[in-house]
Chains A and B, each alone.
Chain A
Amino acid sequence: MRKVMPPIRVPFSWGLGAVAALLPLSLAVIIIFLLQAAWPAIAFNGWGFLIHNSWNLGNMYADPMTVRGIEVLPRANYGVLFLIVGTVLTSLIALALALPIGIYAAIFLAEGLRGWPRMVGSFLVELLAAVPSVVYGLWGYLVLIPFLGKYLFPWLAHTLGVVLPIFRGPLGSGYGLLTAGIVLALMVVPLITASLRDAIVATPLALREAGMSMGASRMEVMRRIILPGQKPLLVGVAILALGRALGETMAVLMVSGNALNSLPTNIYDSVSTMASFIASQLDSAMQDPTGMAVHALAEVALLLMLISILVNAIARGLLWLSGNRA
């Protein structure tokens, strides 16, 4: 009689676990491959990469030379301080605009509306996050830039510019730091509004009643009791929104003016962000026969990835600590 081999039984959950492991694994794989692609650039650029304003592919028509065992074009030099500054500034402006507007809009949705108007209002605000980035870019390019360049920027320069030097001219043509910040603010504001609205609606009734019974109005209950309780959530969501703004590509690419190797001198000046720079530079980087430009772009991508991972991890950690698994 032939012995029948018992079928090898692998628990179903192991299979699920193996598939689920693909997610963290893909994160690790992305970092490893970016690191590998960026390695020659990291070795060539050193720390100067972070503190200089010089993105220079070198002389394309000269013979490549060897520096410290790495083949590069003569006078090639890579420093991306202007990208780091541009990325951080556009995102901070976006956050500075999106936080107050997002918080007040959430208050209006949670306190000012109820029933189906609240539902429709919330849906419309959340749709702002669904509009494709490139459509924001198109709208920013065709609508926002002419409007800002013609009306808002001159007005800002005449009013705020009198007090704050960064609002003084030259005004440029509407492309730049503030424009990118405004577009980014619109893109990240739904995140803030939606999370805060849900949190306000979920606030225990007893807290409101306690406040009202002390003679506070609804808005006073909101500002003195409910909002302070949501501070941890707000900090977490704000950092999350910052992380999203840091990595936005197409809209920024189309409205920021794409500065090269220069730091903005005022709030209207053109800038580049790391994400938009990667998108706009690969075509020319591929012309570099030594491949160093592609490696350097990989270094930019790696830097951007590490910054966003750090920002997101902090945000998720704070949200987790405050009990919001948003």
Chain B
Amino acid sequence: MNGNHRMMASKTPTRSFVINPMRRLVDALSWGLAALSFALLIFALLHILVYVFMKGYPALNLKIFTEDTQGIAGGLRNALIGSIVLSAFALLMAVPIGVSAGVYLSEHGAGWAGKISRFLSDVLVGVPSIVLGYFGYIVMVIGFGWKFSLLAGAITLAILMLPYIARTSEMALRAVPQTLREAAYGLGCPEWRLVLRVLLPAARIPILTGILMALAIALGETAPLLYTAGWSNYLWTGHFTHEGVGYLTYVIWSFIGEPYQSAHQLAYAAAFLITLMVLLINISARVLLLKWRR
């Protein structure tokens, strides 16, 4: 009797309801689409990275780092140094301004002035970089008569980085516990001391991460530099105006269109170098943030 009952139970479905096969099909299809979409994106990223590294690595040699570009041959020393110098001066301008703006938005940004500047700096992020470049061309290259120059390029890049740095700094400072502020004010700290000694040290890692991300964006940009930094076959001579500067992304764009193998090799090498730099900065920013959160 008991056994008979068990047999009966195994024949009839144990579930009290049956899942409609149509529902199962839609479910399976949705999971399939989700996995496929994800796989497609990962495949595209890996294809880009592997392609650039496979093409770029053989194009690397000592000459790339020790010689300057001669026409469409030679090395990339001028462009490599130019890219670094442009981004460094842009950082030098954008970091103090951006972080101060971030402090203002986080500490005094509750009112209408803060709300408006926050909104406008978000809008500034959305201004196309080529528009910033054309602005730099009209105002600095033509208006100030600086010609294609380091300063025009660096200022344009700095404007590009500013809103990123300001907003990431603001987010970082907001995450600092309110009790730290109360403790500092309770001890009679003036605001500047609170900011410099308490808030900025407490939020230094996320702020640094934001700065690194902005640096990666600036290093990889081409459009804002085309008509501000210009191009030069020579190593940067220390002049801030009246002299063009070479940079790696220009080599990629302009040399790949040339019908010569030597030009293509330089473009591949430049793509390798700039992608490697951007990748390393992104990974270290991510690792830094993860370690800090632990």
* Residue positions of A touching B, CB distance < 8 A: 11-13, 15-17, 19-24, 26-27, 30, 33-34, 37, 100-105, 107-109, 111-112, 121, 123-125, 127-128, 130-139, 141-143, 186, 189, 193, 215, 217, 219-220, 222-223, 240, 243-244, 246-250, 253-254, 275, 278-279, 282, 294, 297-298, 301, 304-305, 308-309, 311-313, 315-316, 320
A24-B120, A104-B36, A282-B227 known; A130+B130 contact, CB < 8 A: no
Pick the residue among B100, B108, B159, B256 that contacts A26 (CB under 8 A). Answer: B159
Asked whether B150 is an interface residue with its Cβ less than 8 Å from the other chain, the reply is no
Q: List 16 A-B contacts (CB under 8 A).
A: A16-B101, A17-B104, A19-B101, A23-B120, A23-B163, A26-B162, A103-B37, A105-B37, A124-B46, A125-B41, A131-B45, A219-B26, A304-B131, A309-B126, A312-B122, A316-B123
B48, B130, B135, B143 — most chain A CB neighbours (10 Å): B130
Q: How far is the CA of A246 from the CA of B128 in the complex (A)?
A: 8
Nearest-Cβ distance from residue B280 to partner chain A, whole angstroms = 11
B216 contacts A138, C-beta separation under 8 Å: no
**Which among A13, A108, A123, A305 is the interface contact of B191 at CB below 8 angstroms?**
A13
Distance, CA A21 to CA B23, complexed state (A): 56
B57 shortest CB reach to chain A, Å: 15
User: A138 to B267, Cβ gap below 8 A?
Assistant: yes
A228 to chain B, nearest CB (A): 15
Q: Is the CB of A313 within 8 A of B100?
A: no
Q: How far is the CA of A104 from the CA of B219 in the complex (A)?
A: 31
The reply to whether A105 and B34 form a contact with Cβ atoms under 8 Å apart is: yes
Stretch at the interface among B70-78, B177-185, B202-210, B271-279: B271-279
Q: Which of B247-272 contact A (CB under 8 A)?
A: 249, 252-253, 256, 267, 271
Looking at chain B's contact residues, the main secondary structure is: helix
Report if B66 contacts A (CB, 8 A).
no
Kindly name the residue among A24, A138, A246, A294 whose own CB sees the greatest number of chain B CB atoms within 10 A.
A138
> In the assembled complex, which residues on chain A have CB atoms less than 8 Å from the CB atom of B132?
30
Q: Interface size of B by Cβ–Cβ distance < 8 Å? A: 86
Instruction: Give min CB distance, B191 to chain A, whole Å.
Output: 5
Q: A112-B31, A138-B52, A247-B127 are in contact. Are A132 and B278 (CB under 8 A)?
A: yes
Contact with A along B19-37 (1 / 0, CB 8 A): 1000100110011011111
List, in ascending order, chain A residues with CB within 8 A of B48's CB. Answer: 131, 135-136, 139
B279 touching A220, Cβ below 8 Å: no
B261 to A: closest C-beta gap in Å:
14
Pick from B48, B139, B279 the residue with the most CB of A within 10 Å.
B48
In the complex, the answer to whether A34 meets B52 with C-beta atoms within 8 Å is no
Residues in B with CB closer than 8 Å to A135 are 48, 52, 220, 252, 271, 274-275
Task: Write out the residue numbers on chain B whose beta carbons fall within 8 Å of the beta carbon of A105.
Answer: 34, 37-38, 40-41
Establish whether residues B127 and A19, one from each chain, have CB atoms under 8 Å apart when the complex forms: no
Q: Are A133 and B30 in contact (CB under 8 A)?
A: no
Select which of A124, A247, A294 is within 8 A of B128 by beta carbon: A247
Per the bound structure, the CA–CA distance linking A102 and B40 in Å amounts to: 10
Q: Out of B97, B143, B275, name the residue touching A22 (CB < 8 Å).
A: B97
**Interchain residue pairs A-B with the least CB separation, the first 6:** A247-B128, A132-B220, A312-B126, A104-B37, A20-B104, A108-B34
Interface residue from A23, A100, A244 paired with B126 (Cβ < 8 Å)? A244
